[in-house]
Amino acid sequence: MPNSVFKNNVVIITGASSGIGEELALQLADQGAWLTLAARSEDKLETLASECRNRGGKALVVTADVASEDRCVKIIDETLEEYKRIDTLINNAGYGSAGHLHELPDLRELEKVMDVNFRGSVYCTYHALPHIIKTRGRIVGISSVLGKVAAWGGTAYCASKFAMAGFFDALRIEQHGSGVSVTMVYPGYVVTKFAGNVVKPDGEKMGEKGLRFYGKSMMSAEKAARIIIDAAAKRKREKVLSGLGKFAVFMNKLSPKLVDQIALKIQAERKRRTEGK
């Protein structure tokens, strides 16, 4: 794609080792992007980087946990050392947690969710922003429909995603006239390993129950990445990925009480299905 928006575009992707992040990397490599792939798993990143190079992109691997500001600085510094500039930052790293607030043994799990989902996005964006201003580039925040519509058992996760929405919406206003675009993305349920890695209050991962919990109404990671890349290329303000997600957001504005009632019924059914009853 010689005329692609992202050809030779320096793109940082956090949470790049699997799921949406991995698919974003592959599709951007197809367009000839110069990628920085950041996540905690070096082995997975190296495998992905090799595939990205085979597809015509460049790929730099940076092993980092975005919950640490120092590691986020490392992502930015190593990108600048390798490519000399930053054009696009995709804040994709995420951590899932499920459970009622009163079920948590303490607040450490809530803090971990906030550290990865919210503060990790803030750290990366803060340290990349001066360089993105120079290139009049793009910032993308990948949130969730649960960053617009709260859900049963999602106290910590929803808080982190609502916080992301507020942060990036404010940043968009601040950067008006600078040439920098801020695109917020709100995926619904996407087929990745994320659902199985959601952590319950007892510290165990949901595993296969996670996939049963979210059911069959899930978008493929390939389709989600394609929509996200298109929204970023066009510098869209925001993008809700699924029809169901758009309906939920619309209804939440029209009748929040009704959405609460529907959500409770849906969650009760999914809980029943998860527990095999």
pLDDT of 205 reads 47
pLDDT of 2 reads 44
Examine the pLDDT at 29 and tell me if it is beyond 90: yes
DSSP for 136-202, written as a single string: T-EEEEE--GGGTS--TTBHHHHHHHHHHHHHHHHHHHHTTTTT-EEEEEE--SEESSHHHHPBPTT
pLDDT of 126 reads 98
Q: Which of 157, 186, 189, 214 is catalytic?
A: 157
Examine the pLDDT at 207 and tell me if it is beyond 60: no
pLDDT of 261 reads 66
Q: Which residue has the higher pLDDT, 275 or 83?
A: 83
pLDDT of 238 reads 93
Q: Stretch 40-59: mean pLDDT, rounded? A: 97
Judge contact between 86 and 62, C-beta under 8 A. Answer: no
pLDDT of 100 reads 79
44: left (phi over 0), alpha (psi -120 to 50) or beta: alpha
Q: Is residue 2 part of a domain?
A: no
Examine the pLDDT at 19 and tell me if it is beyond 70: yes
User: Where are the strands (E) in the chain, listed by range?
Assistant: 10-14, 34-39, 58-63, 88-91, 138-142, 181-186, 190-191, 219-220, 238-240
Query: Number of structural domains, the chain?
Result: 1
Q: Which domain holds residue 52?
A: 10-274
Of the chain, the percentage scoring pLDDT greater than 70 comes to 75
Q: Which residue has the higher pLDDT, 249 or 225?
A: 225
Identify the CATH number of the domain in which residue 25 sits: 3.40.50.720
Our answer to whether residue 214 is catalytic in this structure is no
Q: Is residue 3 part of a domain?
A: no
Q: Is residue 189 part of a domain?
A: yes
Q: Which residue has the higher pLDDT, 200 or 99?
A: 99
Q: Is residue 1 part of a domain?
A: no
Of the chain, the percentage scoring pLDDT greater than 90 comes to 61
Task: Provide the 10 A C-beta neighbour count for residue 169.
Answer: 15
pLDDT of 53 reads 98
Examine the pLDDT at 200 and tell me if it is beyond 50: no
Q: Is residue 228 part of a domain?
A: yes
pLDDT of 210 reads 47
pLDDT of 232 reads 97
At 267, is the pLDDT very low, low, confident or very high (cuts 50, 70, 90)? low
What is the overall mean pLDDT for the chain? 85
